[in-house]
Chains A and B, each alone.
Chain A
Amino acid sequence: MKKLIVAASCALALVTGSLQAKEWTEIRIAFDVPYEPFEYRTPEGELTGFEVELATAMCEEMGAKCEFVEQAWDGMIPGLLARKFDAIMSSMSITPERAERVLFSEAYYNTPGAWFGRESVDVDVTDMDAMKGLEVGVQRGTTMDTYVTENMSGIVNIKRYTTADDMVLDLEGERLNLVFVDYPVGEQTILTRDGFKQVGEPVKLGEGVGVAMRQRDTDLAEQINAALDTLKNDGTYDTIMKKYFEYDIKM
């Protein structure tokens, strides 16, 4: 009998919980650290970066208490769906495939993808004949991966990597002719080394980056959209952006 009462009250709590439009006062936000300059740790061990600061400002605007969670990229969406956290602010580009699984806020930034290679590389990346047979590295599952897969399958040999570090190592070891990565990542990890350069023009990709939430949390999405909108208009967004970027990534 006791068990039955417990079970019934649990069920009741679930039903009423999902019916109320919840005022979100505590939000757990996930980042894949490090992904400079969006989220990384300072030498003192403090979590910072463009998205971390934007998230802090957003939570302040919403009047919510935020907890920051670290989660590796592979487990991002599964972790969100398993309720390990409530939102992802880890440079997740908005794509139709992802939108099937998660709910996106309005885009809050967009960076171009860019080609990088050794100094000696001299190739026109828009000329498919010149690109034929080259080894090209991308990070698996990124919008850069989708771009190369859709436009250059069968022309270049695509190698997919889990981390940017492994990819840069293979570019150094001459296993790859070119890599196609998010411009800020390439700027931080490739251009800082000797003997590498950017090749061709950056390519604008996709619909930008949004906050990802569970499909059912439409009330949270409304609050986040409102907060981001305020930040974009009152100058807070621009102040944070100028700290990390010399170019405009605002959307």
Chain B
Amino acid sequence: MPEMIAEWLNQNEIFTATTLLHYWGGLVTTVQLVFLSLLLGLILAVPLAILRTVKNPFVSGPIWFYTYLFRGTPLLIQLYVIYYGIAQIEGIQDTFWWEIFRAAFYPALLAFTLNTAAYTTEILRGAIVATPQGEIEAAKAYGMSWLMRIRRIVLPSAARRAVQAYANEVIFMLHASAIASVVTIVDLTGAARDIYSRFYAPFDAFIAVALIYMVLTFALVYGFKRLEHRLLRHLRPVGG
């Protein structure tokens, strides 16, 4: 098998070891970028979603505005505004912030995190609002405080309802990360563009990268299927 791969690589003029390494570098960047932004986005979204359901408009209003802003504009525009906008701030180049925002990775991470946090907040809010009233009343009857109700009743129940929609958000985020290549990040799509422009073979370069995205998506779909299976095990028929 290894000899077969080596032989195939030798015959092939585009997919040489250098090219494959370039794709590998792109894969690592894409996975880092998507994983970190989803993780940070989720950490942000849980408190935001809870506060978004609070009755006080001074608490829920700003969060509503934030999610509206980031769901109402294209991610590409958000990335441009953050990446080029930060560099235009007078004197930023002399502060320590520039160490962070000089490279393209952190502006992109910031844009992706804020975007996915907005969508995830709305997904979670929908699930929280749909908590059966009886469950909350029962928790109150037990004398649980607000915080304990949220922790023991509302969030676990909301997570079960949100997991399918969130799986979609994760897959969308993976695909949306392709636009990172417009701000010089060499992610999977950036690597494909480099290889396309080096060999003038658009179909080979982009079909190869599409297959890699499909494999990643397949892994995500499988992972979420397992998670759903676990979270919803109490709903399965006995012996089913």
Interface residues of A (CB under 8 A from B): 77-78, 97-98, 100-101, 140-141, 145, 159-162, 166, 169-170, 172-175
Contact = CB atoms under 8 A, between A and B. Distances in A.
Interface of B: 84, 87-88, 93, 98, 102, 104, 182, 184, 186, 190, 193-194, 196-202
Given A145-B197, A169-B84, A174-B87, 5 more contacts: A100-B200, A160-B186, A170-B184, A173-B87, A175-B87
Contact of A97 (B102, B194, B198): B198
Given A161-B184, A174-B93, A140 B88 contact: no
Contacts, number: 44
Given A173-B87, A173-B88, A174-B87, A140 B200 contact: no
9 contacts: A77-B202, A100-B200, A140-B193, A140-B197, A159-B184, A162-B193, A170-B184, A173-B87, A174-B93
Contacts of B84: 169, 173
A193 to B, nearest CB: 14
Q: For the complex, would chain A's binding face be called helix, strand, loop or mixed by DSSP majority?
A: helix
Contacts of A160: 184, 186, 190, 193-194
A19 to B, nearest CB: 28
Given A159-B184, A160-B194, A78 B87 contact: no
A170 B87 contact: yes
A141 B198 contact: yes
A30 B233 CA distance: 61
Contacts of B182: 162, 166
A97 B200 contact: yes
A173 B104 CA distance: 12
A78 B197 contact: no
B28 to A, nearest CB: 17
A173 B201 CA distance: 33
A78 B184 CA distance: 23
A176 to B, nearest CB: 9
Contacts of B196: 141
